[in-house]
Amino acid sequence: MDFKLTDDENADWDLFWSDTGVQLDRISKLRPYQRINNSPGIQSLSRKNNLARNLMRLNRIFKDEYDFFPKTWVLPSESKELKAQFNRKKTKTFIIKPVNMC
């Protein structure tokens, strides 16, 4: 299997790798054998803060079905709620993940 890297917009290709968002018109023009690593709106799942917001929204609507993830706060908008957790006597462990970083 041979691979060839190209920047030529007119070249025929099998795999398109993008580090940024992909426009819907590009996806609609894909041929059946072409694959792309990204899709429109993927940030709603792939970014931790957006995933947390979406899971919490679903949890408010479907409490029993969306109770599988830990309590989550999106900072700075929910910092007051997070700080309230430190005032409780029970020892807790927190995982902190910065927005838009590995």
Q: At residue 9, does pLDDT exceed 80? A: no
Q: What pTM, to 2 d.p., does this model score?
A: 0.61
E-strand stretches of 12-88: 15-16, 35-36
- In angstroms, the CA 81 to CA 77 distance is 9
Place of tokens 């020892």: 91
- Helix count and strand count (H, E) for the chain: 4, 2
Q: Are 67 and 47 in contact (CB under 8 A)?
A: no
Q: What is the mean pLDDT of the chain?
A: 85
Residue 64's pLDDT band, with cuts at 50, 70 and 90, is: very high
Q: At residue 18, does pLDDT exceed 90? A: no
- In angstroms, the CA 94 to CA 72 distance is 10
**Most confident option among 5-19, 57-71, 75-89:** 57-71
